Amino acid sequence: MITGGSGMIGTALTALLLREGFEVAHISRTEDLTGAVKVYGWDSITPGSSAFAKEKAREALGDTRAVIHLAGAGIADSRWTEARKRVIIDSRVKTAEAVRSACEATGIWPEAFISASGINYYGSVTEEKIFEESDPPAASFIGRCCVLWEEAATGFAPHARTVMLRTGVVLSPEGGALPKIAAPVKFGVGAPLGSGRQWMPYIHTDDLCRMYLHAVRNDDVSGPYNAVNGDHLTNKDLTRAIADVLRKPLWLPNVPGFILKAALGELSEVLLEGSRASAEKMRGTGFDFRFPEIQSALKDIYG
């Protein structure tokens, strides 16, 4: 069962799980029970007091082995006004709570609740330190958001194994940050952002989907993990690597940080600063990255 399964990661993960022989269902803001992948609306999973809704929740949860929680309003889609911050948090926390209350009402618990989280849990700090899972969260908005998101996931214990994947920038041709960074490069006007020295922990979308599968299958995967490949790359390195693979020149000076700050406000912090993060805890569970460095990842995406 995947919440937010219609999104960029959910679509790729659904295809992988189906290929691996799993039955997959989604929970979404738009219900559609007619397809091979049943899409339950959030109203179906929120049992409320009516017996009908409870039956629907029972049908939706069925013999669900794992819930993968991907639902969430886009973090970098618009300026972080107070109202937008509320939507960003609620769309992650209240949705997890809705699934939990459906489990409580029906008495059906999955074996595992596996939630997305963000690598910005540690904040965006451009320094040499390599953040590990035992490091404390940042006090920034995005750090607090990740803490609340992960607390909502741990609400499933002791009934279910809980896993939180603190995800870096997901490299995919289908959306997210990469096409946005690559578009100006393609037109010959790409440039690093701000100092260009901010770290950009990242992961190829195939590796991330394989990591979710690994977390479903392995009972000893439990708790928080950095979902990054451990290749420490700066914004400038990434922009250059994209220009190289697209065979485009990179000649413009960096985009000044103050322009991004003026345009995006507080949100600009996740573009202008960034931390290094370790992949060792996940590697220690026996997970191998297919794309451990940027050239192979970009070559796979851009052919």
Ligand X SMILES: NC(=O)c1ccc[n+]([C@@H]2O[C@H](COP(=O)([O-])OP(=O)(O)OC[C@H]3O[C@@H](n4cnc5c(N)ncnc54)[C@H](OP(=O)(O)O)[C@@H]3O)[C@@H](O)[C@H]2O)c1
| Shortest distance (Å) from residue 2 CB to ligand X | 9
As a whole number of angstroms, the distance between CA 208 and CA 220 comes to 18
| Shortest distance (Å) from residue 3 CB to ligand X | 7
Near ligand X by CB under 6 A, which window of 27-35, 131-139, 184-192, 234-242? 27-35
As a whole number of angstroms, the distance between CA 181 and CA 156 comes to 37
| Shortest distance (Å) from residue 42 CB to ligand X | 7
Comparing CB distances to ligand X, the nearer of 83 and 139 is 83
| Shortest distance (Å) from residue 110 CB to ligand X | 18
Comparing CB distances to ligand X, the nearer of 115 and 219 is 115
- How remote is the C-alpha of 90 from its chain's centroid? 16
| Structure tokens that stand for 149 in this block | 């998101």
Comparing CB distances to ligand X, the nearer of 30 and 220 is 30
Comparing CB distances to ligand X, the nearer of 212 and 287 is 212
Tell which positions 80-99 bind ligand X, by CB under 6 A: 87, 91, 95
As a whole number of angstroms, the distance between CA 98 and CA 16 comes to 26
Q: Which neighbouring-strand residues pair with 80?
A: none
| Shortest distance (Å) from residue 9 CB to ligand X | 3
As a whole number of angstroms, the distance between CA 268 and CA 193 comes to 10
Out of 7, 110, 190, 196, point to the residue binding ligand X (CB under 6 A).
Answer: 7
Comparing CB distances to ligand X, the nearer of 64 and 205 is 205
As a whole number of angstroms, the distance between CA 187 and CA 155 comes to 47
Tell which positions 64-83 bind ligand X, by CB under 6 A: 70-75
Residue 29 within binding range of ligand X, rule CB under 6 A:
yes
Contact criterion met (CB below 8 Å) for 65 and 215? no
| Shortest distance (Å) from residue 188 CB to ligand X | 25
Half-sphere exposure of 18 toward its Cβ, with a 13 Å CA cutoff? 14
Q: Which residue's Cβ has the minimum distance to ligand X?
A: 7
Out of 8, 16, 108, 250, point to the residue binding ligand X (CB under 6 A).
Answer: 8
For residue 27, the tally of other CB atoms under 10 A from its CB is 29
Cis ω on the peptide bond leading into residue 249 (within 30° of 0)? no
Tell which positions 159-218 bind ligand X, by CB under 6 A: 167, 169-170, 176-177
Comparing CB distances to ligand X, the nearer of 65 and 94 is 94
| Shortest distance (Å) from residue 13 CB to ligand X | 9
Summarize as ranges the residues that interact with ligand X (CB under 6 A): 4, 6-10, 28-30, 70-75, 87, 91, 95, 116, 118, 167, 169-170, 176-177
